Amino acid sequence: MRRISRVDNNQREIVEILRKIGASVQMLHYVGFGCPDILVGFRGQNYLFEIKLEGRKRNKAQIRWHSNWNGEVHTINCAGDAMRIIGAIGTDK
């Protein structure tokens, strides 16, 4: 039996902020097997995000999934990280 994927405590806040700026957010954490936590659509582009608390690292399944994916996957710690990646705020930090 497959274990339900654990959700980091910062995920809810990140998702709420992204939705407030008009991004579409699809939860993917329940897929498991290393699949990223969320899919974000913003200004006609799609982004895959793995959400981690500061100091936490990806597990073996996540590392394997990310390395086998033929597209971009971003690991983020906060909404600011996501907003910079999708271009909702500047990158001057």
Residue range 36-61: mean pLDDT, rounded: 96
> Does residue 65 fall inside a structural domain?
yes
> Does residue 24 fall inside a structural domain?
yes
> Does residue 5 fall inside a structural domain?
no
> Does residue 2 fall inside a structural domain?
no
Q: What is the mean pLDDT of the chain?
A: 92
Which pTM value belongs to this model? 0.88
> Does residue 77 fall inside a structural domain?
yes
> Does residue 71 fall inside a structural domain?
yes
Residue 81 burial (CB < 10 Å; 0-12/13-18/19+)? Answer: middle
Residue range 53-79: mean pLDDT, rounded: 96
Residue range 28-53: mean pLDDT, rounded: 96
Q: Is the pLDDT of residue 92 over 70?
A: no
> What is the count of structural domains for the chain?
1
Query: pLDDT at position 4, please?
Result: 55
> Does residue 72 fall inside a structural domain?
yes
The boundaries of the domain holding residue 35 are: 11-86
